[in-house]
Each structure stands twice: as C-alpha cells, then as structure tokens.
Structure 1
Amino acid sequence: MASQIRGIRLQSDIQKEKNLVADALSRIEINNNENESDNEDSDLLSILPQVDTTDELSPEEADLILNSEDPLRLDEDTQTQHTAVENPVFGMPISEKPLNSFVHRLEIKLADEYKLIYKRPFKKHHYLAHIRRGQEQENLRTFLKEVIDPKTLYGIYFQDESLERIFSKICGDLFTNTLKIIKTTTLCKDLEKQMNKIISFKITTIRTIMELQKLTITSKPNTTGPI
C-alpha cells in the first residue's frame, strides 16, 4: 500500500513539473498578432531567461563580430554609386548569440501605435519598440534619437524583418560615427532544452529518493519477532 502511494506521488510530481514547463514555454512564445496587449509585452520582457555572466557576449567576441565585415555597407543595388555615397546604409553584422546575451538590447516590432517599453532585468537594458504601420520611418527615427548612444554596444532583434532595411537607412542618415549594433536572429537561448534538463534531473532525483526509501524499508530488521 505504501509503495502504491509513493508511486502515485511520483507520478503527480512528474506531471507538475511538465505542467510548469508547458506554462513557461507558452508564455515566452512570440505573439505577432497586432492585437497583442501591453501587459503581454511586459510579461514577455519579465520572463526572458537571464543568462549567466559566462554566456554574455564578451568585449573580445563583440570586436570580432563588429570587425568581421565593413560596418558601413553602401546600397548599390537600388541606387547609383554617387547616390549611395551620399546616402550610406548602415550594415549590421549578424551573430548567432541570442538577444539576451547583450547588456543593451533592442527589440523592434510592428504595431498599431508607436510605443517604447523599457525594462531593466538584472541590470540589463531592454528596449521594446512598437513601430506604427505606415509611419515606420518617423517612428524609427524617433526611437533612434531617444535611445541610441553611438559608443554603446547593442544587440538588436527584429520581430518584423521588413523594419531592418528602414532601420539601417535611418542609422546611416543620423549617425556619422560607426554604430556598435549587432543583429541577432534569436530572441533567447533554447529555454525548452534547459527546462527538459531540469525536469530530467528532478525526476531522476525523485526516483533515487524512492529507491533509497525502498532499501531503507526492506533493510530494517524485524524487531517484532514471530507472531
């Protein structure tokens, strides 16, 4: 009877861990629906997993990425060479590092109204910019003037890729100095894989405790004597 109760408790604990993971994963899914509420955006920023210091992008890694290609690429596809020199397009190097590896983060998405949400999780700076459809240039120009410091290293993630070219063009217009902005293609590191490791560890721990309890029970001497 006792072993059956322990088995039921074990199954219950495992199910609870799975439910917790499912809930966490559902909360961090990026919702590009235009009706997404401000509260959902705030929740997303608050639960983005925080990486350890060892996972952050080091200054040496940043320099390698920034210097891997010419940081100022000229737009020669749609303009003449002369026009391109007058209107340079800022070219961002790309890193496989997730956005949350950066201390200063820029996240940009299309929305119905312009809005800038700022969070500071664990002393890191996260800017989520809502860019109004139809006013992309005006809103991005405002955002860049309000936020960007040319001397600061930023990681940037575009929820809507259509904004990248406009963003790059405005950077070239506004700033004469080379900007330290690295594009990331991942918002955060693989949380699901991490969660699965945590579940596996906890389940193994629970089962080990159960086995030890069994051994303790079976190894106890019979002190009651024969009936």
Structure 2
Amino acid sequence: MDSRIKIILAEDEPALALIIKESLETRNFDVFICKNGEDALECYLKEKPELLVLDVMMPKKDGFSVARDIRKTDKEIPIIFLTSKSQTQDVVDGFNSGGNDYLKKPFSMEELIVRIHSLLRRVPTPKNDTEITIGKYHFNLTKQLLIISDTRISLTHREASLLHLLIANKNEVIERSILLKKIWGDDDFFNGRSMDVFITKLRKKLNLDPNIQIINVRGQGYKLIE
C-alpha cells in the first residue's frame, strides 16, 4: 500500500513551487502543484489530499478564498498559508478564513516540514460509527441510516454523502458547484438534475421532523436548516 501523503501546493512562483515540491517529495510526500486558486480548488476536489499549502496572493482566486470554499465542506483538513504579507491583520484574516498555520516568506524548508508534520499529527480520526443528531433524527454515515423513534430509514451511499455535507454546514448555504464536484465529481447539467432528485428524496426521508428543512437558495445552492 502506498503510504505517501498527498499535499496540494498552490504557488504561482514556478521556481519556489519546484523547490518546495522536490524537498517534500524526498520526505515521503506526493505534491500536486497548482498555479492559481481555481486550479487548487479543482485539484482538492479530485485528489482528496491530506493537507494544503496555499500562497495567499494568486491569480484567479486568492488563498484565503480557496480556504473559505474548502471549509464549507471540510472542517478538518489542515491548511497552511504562505505569504510575504506581514501585517497583523493579514494573519488574522488568514486564520479567520480557515487556515491552521501561517508561514511568512522567506522561510526555510525545514520550518515548513516541521509545521506540516505538526498539523498532520493534530488531525482527528473520526469514529466511523459515531451518530450525528439532527433534529429528532440520528444519522449514521457509515451504516447509511437515519433513525427516528422506532423507524429506521436506509439511505443510498450518495444520499448519505449529500446529507453529511448538508449537516456539516447546517444553516449555511453550500454552493451547487461545490456539492456536485465533491459528490458527483463534476458540476455539469445532468449531474445537477441528478442532485435535485436526490435532494427531493432526502426531503421525504426527513419529513418526520417538520423542524428540519432543506431549502433551495435560488442562484446559489442548498441549505439544511433545523
């Protein structure tokens, strides 16, 4: 089994990106270089890495924006920002956008590696059988099961994955494109129609508790409210 750890490196300076990649790959990491923020987000959805290293100032989408998008569906993955900005407010903005660490340029490779290892050790390992309470329901992701009173409702894998993301971002809108790319792998028209059908099925399975709703926020996405 391949035990190498996947890291996404979003850095628009080619020389620096290559130095970081080569240094990390000698230490049992697989590094995927992205030249801008949009590519980094696409790569994250495709590769499912264990950690991200994001430059703050990038074309198309800056590092803070990438982190905010990722945190809509993933609260746990470690994110390190690289930046030449040194103002206190910049650091505050970085942590507020979902970053776990903030490394100012120039930096030593050893310092980056130490911080990566530190963050990877801190990532919790979720218990697969832990039940999530949502309203009057108990939801088990691993067993793909909803339980309310004496009623047990089976879910498909995709229904369970979709519900899990909605619950993780309860009372917040999740963009359609993020849901589609995370679960379906592509946000094309046909996958969009498929997701709408799955949302309808989930609504029916959650209708035993009238306080739970999945609402469509027009032009944006879906939100589960309790």
With normalisation by structure 1, the TM-score equals 0.29
Q: Greater Rg, structure 1 or structure 2?
A: 1
The structure in which a higher percent of residues are helix is 1
The structure in which a higher percent of residues are strand is 2
